[in-house]
Amino acid sequence: MTGRSAISPFFHQLRMTDSLTACDIRWPAWPVFDQTEETALLDVLRSGKWWFGERVRRFEAEYAAFQGSRYAVTCTNGTTALEMALRALGVVEGDEVIVPCYSFIATASAVVTVGAVPVFADICPDSLCIDPDDVERKITDRTKAVIPVHVAGLIADMDRLQKIAEAHDLVLLEDAAHAWGSQLDGRGAGTLSRAGTFSFQETKNITAGEGGILVTDSEELADLCRSFTHCGRAKRSQWYDHDYLGSNLRMTEFQAAILSCQLARLSDQIAVRDANAARISHILSGLDLILPPPAPRMTRRSWHIYIFRLGPEREPVRDRIVERLNQAGVPVLAGWYRPLYRNVVFQRAHQGPPHGIRSPLAARGVDYRTTDCPVCEQVCRDAVWIPQNVLLADSGDVERAARIIRTVIEQESGR
């Protein structure tokens, strides 16, 4: 395997500067690529056919088969995949969409972009996925949809969410941007509702630098999404006929060529990540941590991130633990997430005048300043993330790193 480090320091090798034995492991670089990607890119280059064509169609078919859906529609990134899905599912201005507060901003900003209002629900303390009980509490007569996020590749409680959605006539849309390959009872993430969306951004487990895709079993929904990405053209329409509102969100042949190569090795990578995640959990067991919960119904789990929680009692030393581990050459992170409603775009939602970029929710009657999701707040203070490239390392290296993590936590807990 060859590759180079991503831009983020999340992936960089670090060196020891305190009293622990230095961890001199050279962690796998990300993204992973080899001659396969190089050959595929050169084939596209030399063909002169760079624009939305056969390579894109091939990858869509491959990815649909991989996730177990009938249809797949590519687009520019995971954010626009959510936007086109919401539009195709009928979410319009004035609707409310319930989203988890522990996610990347796109889960909520896509809702705003289509003119709807995000309503933030808390998360479960172990799975870190949206809490169905809080979803029920947040439903109003304006609620149109719910977007569960499969955090770190662990599938949300779709059984409960489906029952809630059916009882209240709501649409479910899975944000599966961490769940390429994840399966529940043999069914792929994104196929457990009307539709699911995925991201192929640089840090993701399958990447072309950027890119997104939607999967669905509905031909009508797939056709609407295709039209939206393709300037509003309908199936079999004339080139300059535009039947629907659309945009230009097409994936290129270069991206599709890379993604086909990435997809070919993904199953093997998932197996390696899963085995190494189990090794970490075994070594960290007994430390009174909140470890990633077992998921016996999951027949495959993508492990985009291994997230464990130190718990409220260790919250004051979380940053110190992360700093010491980084110094020891074990690349961990305090997490990129903070409660989504704490972003300025939502904290100032009540302020005007309305502006499409600066204040898109002004004059909409929303005020997020008192929004409080206590579980998410606590998770953001005590969670530690281990990135997916670390989970691709040799098993012995992963075990060594896990033992260092255990030692640091024990030492800091004893202070």
Our answer to whether residue 204 is catalytic in this structure is yes
Catalytic residue among 126, 138, 168, 201: 201
CB 276: neighbour CB atoms within 10 A? 24
Q: What is the pLDDT of residues 18-47, one digit of tens each?
A: 445 557 889 999 999 999 999 999 999 999
Instruction: Tell which residue, 233, 201, 227, 228, has the closest CA to residue 113.
Output: 228
Sequence-ordered alpha helix ranges (H) in 71-127: 78-88, 106-113
Our answer to whether residue 63 is catalytic in this structure is no
Does position 10 have pLDDT exceeding 50, yes or no? no
Q: What is the pTM of this model?
A: 0.93
Our answer to whether residue 175 is catalytic in this structure is yes
d(CA 189, CA 88): 19
Catalytic residue among 134, 157, 175, 382: 175
pLDDT for residue 49: 96
Catalytic residue among 35, 240, 355, 415: 240
Catalytic residue among 87, 144, 233, 314: 233
pLDDT for residue 19: 45
Options 3.40.640.10, 3.40.50.360, 3.40.630.20, 1.10.3720.10; CATH of 35-260: 3.40.640.10
d(CA 293, CA 277): 11
Catalytic residue among 11, 59, 66, 104: 104
Catalytic residue among 204, 304, 314, 318: 204
Answer yes or no: are the C-beta atoms of 45 and 258 closer than 8 Å.
no
Q: Which residue has the higher pLDDT, 54 or 414?
A: 54
Our answer to whether residue 126 is catalytic in this structure is no
Q: What is the pLDDT of residues 185-208, one digit of tens each?
A: 999 999 999 999 999 999 999 999
The region of weakest confidence among 9-18, 187-196, 204-213, 288-297 is 9-18
Q: What is the pLDDT of residues 91-102, one digit of tens each?
A: 999 999 999 999
pLDDT for residue 21: 56
Mean pLDDT of the chain: 94
Answer yes or no: are the C-beta atoms of 147 and 129 closer than 8 Å.
no
Return the structure tokens found at 100.
Answer: 């988890």
Mean local confidence (pLDDT), 45-56: 96
Our answer to whether residue 104 is catalytic in this structure is yes
pLDDT for residue 20: 53
Does position 2 have pLDDT exceeding 70, yes or no? no
Return the structure tokens found at 106.
Answer: 């796109």
Q: What is the pLDDT of residues 112-150, one digit of tens each?
A: 999 999 999 999 999 999 999 999 999 999 999 999 999
pLDDT for residue 415: 58
Residues 6+ positions from 255 with CB-CB distance below 8 Å: 200, 208, 209, 210, 211
Mean local confidence (pLDDT), 315-330: 96
Our answer to whether residue 178 is catalytic in this structure is yes
Our answer to whether residue 369 is catalytic in this structure is no
Our answer to whether residue 201 is catalytic in this structure is yes
Catalytic residue among 150, 250, 364, 381: 250
d(CA 330, CA 117): 40
Mean local confidence (pLDDT), 204-229: 98
d(CA 286, CA 284): 6
Does position 172 have pLDDT exceeding 70, yes or no? yes
Catalytic residue among 55, 87, 150, 178: 178
SS3 category, 348: coil
In percent, the amount of the chain with pLDDT more than 70 equals: 94
